[in-house]
Amino acid sequence: MDNEKLIEALLNCPNGEELAIFKANQNLIDARLVQTMLDYATNLATRNYIDASERLIKIVVFNLLVTLRNANFRDLKNDFLEASALFCLGTDYQALDQLAEAKKCYQQSLNITNKLDIEVGGELKVSSLQGLGSYHTRKRELAEAEKYYQESLDIAEKILDIANNKNDDGLRNMALQKKANALEPLAGIYYNQGKLDQAWSSNEQSLTLKQQLQDQIGRGNSIRFRGSIFVVKYFIDLGYQTHWRNCLSPQTFIAGI
C-alpha cells in the first residue's frame, strides 16, 4: 500500500479503526506521511470537501502524531508538523463556523510555534496569530483582534529582515504577504473603531504590498476600501461626526491565512 491508498483507507474506514490501519502499515509511518496527509487535507478543503479535510486532519492530530511520539520520533520537525496540523484543523473549524474549536486549535498551534526558532516556525506562528485575530474579529472583540494582528505584523517584519539578510526571494515574498494579511484586517478594525487615520495608513501600506506582490484581487479590495474610508471622512467633514456609522455600513476584514 502506498501513501495515497493509505489515506483513502483512513478516510473510508469506520471511526475507531484508524490505529489498526496504521499498525498494519507501519513501514509508511514517518514525518513525511504527516506532511503528505496535511497536503491532501488542504487540497480537499480547497475543493470544498471540508468534512473530509477535517476528518483527515483529526486523524493526523489524534492518531498519527500520537503514534510517532510513542515511537520516540518526537523532534523539532514533528513539533512543526503537529502545529501545522492543528492550524489546518483550526481553519477547517472556522470554515464550518465552529469558532470555539477553531480558537482552541489556533492557540495550540501558537503554543508549539512559540517554542520553535523563528526560522523554523515563524511563518506558522504568524498564521496562528492571524487565525486568533480572525476569531476575535468574528466575535467583535476588536481590541483583542488588534493585539494578535499587530503581533503577527511584528514577527513578519523580523522574518523579512532575515529574508533580506539571506537574499532569499521566496522567504521575502512570504513575509510581505503575511504583512499584507495583517495590515488589511487592521485597517478594518481601525475603521470599525472610528480611527480613520490609522485605517487609512494600514490600508495604504497593505495596498503597496499587494502591488509589489502583483496581487490584483487584493489590490482591488484595498482600493475599494480606500473609497469607503474616503466617503466616511467626507461625511465627517460635513459635520456628521456622531452619525457617520448610520451613513455607511461598517466593514470588517478577515485575514487571508
Q: Which CATH number is 25's domain given?
A: 1.25.40.10
Residue 182 belongs to domain spanning: 3-186
pTM, 2 dp: 0.76
The answer to the question of residue 237 being in a domain is no
Three cell numbers written together for 170? 521566496
The answer to the question of residue 213 being in a domain is no
The answer to the question of residue 247 being in a domain is no
Residue 89 pLDDT: 85
Q: How many domains does the chain have?
A: 1
The answer to the question of residue 26 being in a domain is yes
Q: How many residues does the chain have?
A: 257
The answer to the question of residue 207 being in a domain is no
Mean pLDDT of successive 10-residue stretches along the chain, which has 257 residues? 86 87 80 79 86 85 67 59 85 88 94 92 95 96 97 97 95 96 96 92 96 92 89 72 49 40
Per-residue HEC secondary structure of the chain comes to: CCHHHHHHHHHHCCCCCHHHHHHHCHHHCCHHHHHHHHHHHHHHHHCCCHHHHHHHHHHHHHHHHHHHHHCCCCCHHHHHHHHHHHHHHHHHHHHCCCHHHHHHHHHHHHHHHCCCCHHHHHHHHHHHHHHHHHHHHHCCCHHHHHHHHHHHHHHHHHHHHHHHHHCCHHHHHHHHHHHHHHHHHHHHHHHHCCCHHHHHHHHHHHHHHHHHCCCHHHHHHHHHHHHHHHHHHHHHHCCCCCCHHHHCCCCCCCCCC
Q: How far is CA 71 from CA 18, 89, 90, 128, in A?
A: 17, 24, 26, 28
Handedness of CA 51, 218, 85, 150 (dihedral sign): negative
Residue 40: which residues within 8 A CB-CB, separation 6 or more? Answer: 4, 7, 56
Find the angle CA(58)-CA(60)-CA(62) to the nearest 5 degrees: 60
The answer to the question of residue 161 being in a domain is yes
Residue 238 pLDDT: 67
The answer to the question of residue 144 being in a domain is yes
The candidate with the shortest Cα–Cα distance to 27, out of 61, 3, 54, is 3
Three cell numbers written together for 78? 514533528
Three cell numbers written together for 216? 490584483
Residue 15 pLDDT: 85
The answer to the question of residue 121 being in a domain is yes
